[in-house]
Structure 1
């Protein structure tokens, strides 16, 4: 396959996947925008609650992401039995994980009190998660089904179903947060109910589509039946992915907790800035999924040459996106931050002043953040997940978090210091994981398995 064909395949798969990730993230983004217009302190409480939810959700998603390379490999090899088993066991694993984690959501207020958050913020976050926490069940189910369809290169439907959930969430948010159309004004709890409703709608939409268009695959047949071999394979591949994601998400979550120690206004600015760079990061996540699918297919065909060529091209596309995002962060930071704030809010100027500095710091790590997530996608495609997990833990928690604390509190740089520490951790991860892929990836493909 020549470079032009690789690029065409990457864009054909990537554009809908990027769109679906942006649409999925828009659910959280809509919560942030509307709550920012509702009340800055309420927004800060939701940021705190959403941080815990995302942290747990991202770990459970490891089992869902494990489906992608397994199904891509099985599809390329023509093994439809393994395809069905992988998806079914991923649903079992994510469901069990959700049951284990639900108590953390229901007891979130006590957790936040214990780690030193302001009482008012802990109370708001606890109210949010008492409702939002239940959406962990449909949210992880959605991730499994999306990964399955993406690996089968049915990315268009993933995008359209996700977009529909955004509409449901926006309508419910507008009604329930502010009390429009005869609904009660519920504030942060309204945002939680809206997110739960939209996630359930997305799950129903995906199930209906799969049953209507893929009856021959019988993906939901004997859903109650345990397949020990497939369960073990998904678990072995998925838990390192989940912990790797935890390490990275934990880096940003730790920064949120530390920003909460500084105050509610810095925390609100931090939350908005995170939303902005996360929107940009969703593009790289979509491209990383493409890298996983294409690498998994190369694994199924045992084609190391195509793996290298495809990897180089998808990295180039991600680099081009990073150039654009850096320009936006440096040229229009106030305009981006202002989208999330009511012009009449008395805290607006203070939030803007802090947020502009944070976005300037974020521009420093756009390229390395893109590089590390692309390397992760390629390594997952060849089912190499354990060593990247170690790299992530080292980069983010041994280096990134301690440096963020030192820069912020010991050296007195405040919120910008937190973000500079994160940049160092992300840079180290990018170097380690890129080196791992280019030295070991093709070897894994040619020998039929990950390292």
Structure 2
């Protein structure tokens, strides 16, 4: 990547000072990270409520989440591609292309939602084929039967979130998501347990509550995008019925490798859940709780990663090569510092945090708590390198580099991470702990390769 030689586009004239770049990154990343934390708070609320039902429902929620995220991975990747397209258009002051990027994202979300729903509605068959216990698989299907109906609005909301972030206004998505947290709890509680005059729908009720919240958040986001400044200036609903096939192809070229990278990453953790289920139900429950805590930690660097995509995309749009490098490196530094601080806090309070996810009287509760706390201790390196890989890959997406990161994900996750997890989990006395050591090894390699890739392209 090169900058132009004209005065108007020289790096010194275009690139913000270091302190200003850091501030702009924080200002953009903070609401994005808080949005991610709010979304994971809803998932954690579900898990906390489900945990009061016993170990089998917790394990079923873990397996249902595995099927759900693997199935929705392709759509999530396509929605993520809206951000670099819209950010580069915004950096180039092309409002029409910003609008078209959102429009093709909404169409792509619709087109992929139906096959994803079919996967979710056949989750029990998939889990039984993978050797999971029939009772737990049946409970997982109950949960998926409720979750399936919220897939399309979830993808549409992700497209709106990418659009709003690309134009430097991610705050409405944060407000919407913060409002959704109590709404989700108010719906999950009565539908799961059958209180306040509602029927007791169990895990199906919890899934339906989440789907209802997904629809509500999308409608709220669409209202902001249509009627509130500065979004209304983009006229996002103009010619909505018209599919821009050229831009759709570009979205697929960028988004498909992102989807496959997501699939490789989520697939690794899904495979780890399957391996845990083969060890024991308490091991699977401990893994799910530790992974949920990890996901909470991950939301902050993931928000910074989204900000990195936007900041790098803006620099690309204005043809500022120096700004590309600075935006990516500042985001990585910010994420690395925060990841270290959060990891230290989790390690110190790991037992207390794990107990929040299990109710009293659950069989093998003490063993589950001890194992989950051990997994968190083992995962200290994993937390930090996972944060770094997320931000590095976000910076690379800002320059539309998604194919090589996909190949690096194959290497890190599946040629190193999974074989190490399997070998250490089933051919050493480490068991569940060995599986997490393998996850950490694969993620560390992937993060290192991504950072080197960004340094090379932005040099």
Interval containing the TM-score (normalised by the shorter chain): over 0.9
Q: CA deviation at 1:368?
A: 1.2
Corresponding residue to 2:110 among 87, 92, 95:
95
- The alignment's TM-score, normalised by the length of structure 1, stands at 0.96
- The aligned counterpart of 1:47 is 62
- The aligned counterpart of 2:180 is 165
Q: CA deviation at 1:436?
A: 0.4
Corresponding residue to 2:240 among 220, 223, 232:
223
1:65-107 Cα offsets, whole Å, 9 max, x none, are: 1111111110111111111111111111121111122221111
- The aligned counterpart of 2:227 is 212
Distance in structure 2 (CA, Å) of the matches to 1:415 and 1:325: 23
Corresponding residue to 1:317 among 334, 337, 344:
334
- The aligned counterpart of 1:192 is 207
Distance in structure 2 (CA, Å) of the matches to 1:53 and 1:31: 15
- 1:376-395 counterparts in 2 under 5 A? 376-395=393-412
Corresponding residue to 2:164 among 141, 146, 149:
149
- Does the CA-based 8 Å contact 1:3-1:310 persist in structure 2? no
Q: CA deviation at 1:310?
A: 2.2
Unaligned regions of 5+ residues in structure 2, if any? Answer: 1-15
1:27-57 Cα offsets, whole Å, 9 max, x none, are: 2111111111222211111111011111222
- Does the CA-based 8 Å contact 2:315-2:321 persist in structure 1? yes
- Does the CA-based 8 Å contact 1:38-1:187 persist in structure 2? no
- The aligned counterpart of 1:111 is 126
Distance in structure 2 (CA, Å) of the matches to 1:52 and 1:381: 29
Give the match's secondary structure for 1:223: coil
- 1:168-187 counterparts in 2 under 5 A? 168-187=183-202
- Does the CA-based 8 Å contact 1:287-1:318 persist in structure 2? yes
- The aligned counterpart of 1:446 is none
- The aligned counterpart of 2:347 is 330
Q: CA deviation at 1:114?
A: 0.4
- Does the CA-based 8 Å contact 1:237-1:385 persist in structure 2? yes
Q: CA deviation at 1:346?
A: 3.2
- 1:427-442 counterparts in 2 under 5 A? 427-442=444-459
Distance in structure 1 (CA, Å) of the matches to 2:116 and 2:328: 36
1:369-414 Cα offsets, whole Å, 9 max, x none, are: 1111111010000110000011001110111111100000011311
Distance in structure 1 (CA, Å) of the matches to 2:360 and 2:295: 23
Corresponding residue to 1:69 among 84, 91, 95:
84
Q: CA deviation at 1:333?
A: 1.1
Q: Confirm whether residue 17 of structure 1 aligns to residue 17 of structure 2.
A: no
- The aligned counterpart of 2:257 is 240
Distance in structure 2 (CA, Å) of the matches to 1:404 and 1:219: 46
- The aligned counterpart of 1:129 is 144
Q: CA deviation at 1:113?
A: 0.4
- Does the CA-based 8 Å contact 2:72-2:116 persist in structure 1? no
1:341-372 Cα offsets, whole Å, 9 max, x none, are: 11332331121011111111111212211111
- Does the CA-based 8 Å contact 2:59-2:281 persist in structure 1? yes
Unaligned regions of 5+ residues in structure 1, if any? Answer: 443-451
Q: CA deviation at 1:158?
A: 1.0
Corresponding residue to 1:201 among 216, 222, 225:
216
Q: CA deviation at 1:185?
A: 2.3
- The aligned counterpart of 1:426 is 443
Distance in structure 2 (CA, Å) of the matches to 1:381 and 1:319: 19
- The alignment's TM-score, normalised by the length of structure 2, stands at 0.94
Q: Confirm whether residue 364 of structure 1 aligns to residue 381 of structure 2.
A: yes
**Structure 1: 4+ residue segments shifted above 6 A:** none
RMSD: 1.2
Q: Confirm whether residue 403 of structure 1 aligns to residue 420 of structure 2.
A: yes
Q: Confirm whether residue 5 of structure 1 aligns to residue 5 of structure 2.
A: no
Q: Confirm whether residue 304 of structure 1 aligns to residue 321 of structure 2.
A: yes
Distance in structure 2 (CA, Å) of the matches to 1:336 and 1:240: 35
- Does the CA-based 8 Å contact 2:282-2:368 persist in structure 1? yes
- The aligned counterpart of 2:49 is 34
- Does the CA-based 8 Å contact 1:325-1:366 persist in structure 2? no
Q: CA deviation at 1:298?
A: 0.5
Residue range with higher mean Cα deviation, 144-153 or 358-367: 358-367
- 1:240-319 counterparts in 2 under 5 A? 240-319=257-336
Distance in structure 1 (CA, Å) of the matches to 2:165 and 2:326: 21
Q: CA deviation at 1:188?
A: 1.1
Q: CA deviation at 1:313?
A: 1.8
- The aligned counterpart of 1:448 is none
